[in-house]
Amino acid sequence: MRRANHVAISLLLPGLLLLAGCRGTVGDLSEKVNVTFSLLGADTRTTVTSGEGRVGKWTLLLYREGKLIDVGTSGSPSSIQRSLETGTYTAYAVANPPSSFEPESYTSISKFSGAESYLRDNSLSQFVMVGSRTISVPVQNDRPQTIGVNRLVAKVGIRKISVDFTDPVLQSRTVRLNAIYLTNCYGRTHLKSDEGASEMNADASCWYNCMGFRSDPDVDVILADQAINAIITASYPYRQEHHFYCYPNQADRDSRSEDWSIRRTRLVLETEISGRTYYYPITLPSMQRNKTYIVEEAIIRKLGSNDPEKDEPGSIDVIFDTISDWGPSFTVHENS
């Protein structure tokens, strides 16, 4: 379960550094220099959100003039040392890479730009992260260089659900909250950037929870909280915070068609009132990686709809918190 009390909308994770330092001296231009890349301060907490910044394995790809020069992999957040000639390199770090990730196959930056990750590559214990920067060897004055990586997922949360029926007949009724989940979640994204996220494949097989909850063991844990079974009344709002994680969905328009088509991601409240199921879908804005989208409060005003894709006008008021950067997975320090 992704539950936490009083979590800030912009979450800055504990200090994690990707560190580059040079050792040795340089004679002529062909002499190689040892360069150490390290991950420091890995998140080992066991709190609800501890996995949001945890690194279990990471891969380093080094490019020179757009061509792959070297690859290094560590099975833990420990250092990787490479021997490099003097020159300028573009370094990519892929933390918690997909199991199918084969770095040697990305022989050029253009090929790496086409590398994809699937939503199922992520879990609550670790999320795929990517970062890059340009590094000059040898490092000036041997000062360490740092590079930050960001998660590919966006974070969606809801903090409070309350009931304030406008119809006097309904005011004495209780609301049972059965589940909260995300629908219409795109299942892939590029490792390098959000480029192409708006050119999403309309095939339903590339999406999760199309137009409603469709259980899938590969992603249920990050897209849904089931069997909540909480009673909400006008006097007792529901204050347990829930978090969900999905890949960017930058659909330029929404759809409510009964036939599947590309549409916006929704946060759905599934409730039961007087023995009947009612849905309260909250449509999210265009979503980007490593940003948080937090509902501060959802206020139920009327009976909802009988379809998780359909809005019942005036049934719910939603107070969005400010959409914000999630914060880097690694704390970045630029050295001058």
**What's the average model confidence in pLDDT over 275-296?**
95
**Residue-wise pLDDT tens digits, 148-174:** 778 999 999 999 999 999 999 999 999
Question: What is the average pLDDT value for the chain, to the nearest integer?
Answer: 83
- Do the Cβ atoms of 239 and 131 come closer than 8 Å? no
Predicted confidence band of residue 50 (pLDDT cuts 50, 70, 90): low
Q: Which residue has the higher pLDDT, 44 or 199?
A: 199
**What's the average model confidence in pLDDT over 171-193?**
95
Structure tokens at 252: 């330029």
- Do the Cβ atoms of 50 and 7 come closer than 8 Å? no
Q: Give residue limits of the domains in the chain.
A: 17-151, 154-325
- Give long-range contacts, CB 8 A cutoff, 24+ apart: 198-207: 198/250, 198/251, 198/252, 200/249, 200/250, 200/251, 200/262, 202/260, 202/261, 202/262, 204/260
Predicted confidence band of residue 57 (pLDDT cuts 50, 70, 90): confident
Instruction: Provide the 8-state DSSP code for 3.
Output: B
Number of H helices, E strands in the chain: 2, 24
Model pLDDT, residue 143: 59
Model pLDDT, residue 332: 29
Model pLDDT, residue 150: 85
Q: Which residue has the higher pLDDT, 3 or 190?
A: 190
Model pLDDT, residue 319: 95
**What's the average model confidence in pLDDT over 39-54?**
50
Output the CATH code of domain 154-325: 2.60.40.3690
- Do the Cβ atoms of 162 and 297 come closer than 8 Å? yes
Secondary structure (3-state) at 222: helix
Return the beta strands (E) in 51-107 as ranges. Answer: 58-64, 67-74, 80-85, 87-95
Model pLDDT, residue 12: 35
**Residue-wise pLDDT tens digits, 297-323:** 999 999 999 999 999 999 999 999 877
**What's the average model confidence in pLDDT over 215-223?**
97
Buried residues in 209-225 as b, exposed as e (16+ CB within 10 A): bbbbbeeeeebbbbbbb
**What's the average model confidence in pLDDT over 75-104?**
88
Query: CA 158, 163, 166: angle at the middle one, nearest 5?
Result: 135
Residues whose CB is less than 8 angstroms from the CB of residue 222 and which lie 6 or more positions away in sequence, other chains included: 2, 119, 122, 123, 124, 153, 244, 245, 246
How are strands ordered across the β-sheet holding 150-151? 67-74, 58-64, 87-95, 129-137, 150-151
Q: Look at residues 210, 187, 324, 303 and name the one whose alpha carbon lies nearest to residue 259.
A: 210
Model pLDDT, residue 298: 98
Model pLDDT, residue 194: 66
- Kindly report the number of other CB atoms within 10 A of residue 144's CB atom: 15
Domain 17-151 has CATH 2.60.40.2580: yes
Q: Is residue 53 predicted with pLDDT exceeding 90? A: no
Q: Which residue has the higher pLDDT, 16 or 149?
A: 149
Q: φ and ψ at 83, to 5 degrees?
A: -105, 115
Percent of the chain surpassing pLDDT 90: 62
Q: Is residue 330 predicted with pLDDT exceeding 80? A: no
| pTM as predicted | 0.85
Q: Is residue 254 predicted with pLDDT exceeding 90? A: yes
| Same fold for the pair 17-151 and 154-325 | yes
**What's the average model confidence in pLDDT over 252-273?**
95
Q: Is residue 47 predicted with pLDDT exceeding 50? A: no
The CA distance from 270 to 208, in Å, is 17
Secondary structure (3-state) at 133: strand
Region of poorest pLDDT, from 92-101, 204-213, 227-236, 240-249: 92-101
The CA distance from 68 to 60, in Å, is 11
Predicted confidence band of residue 31 (pLDDT cuts 50, 70, 90): confident
**What's the average model confidence in pLDDT over 166-194?**
94
Q: Which residue has the higher pLDDT, 205 or 13?
A: 205
Structure tokens at 74: 């560590």
Percent of the chain surpassing pLDDT 70: 80
Secondary structure (3-state) at 288: coil
Tokens 């999406």 sit at which residue?
Answer: 207
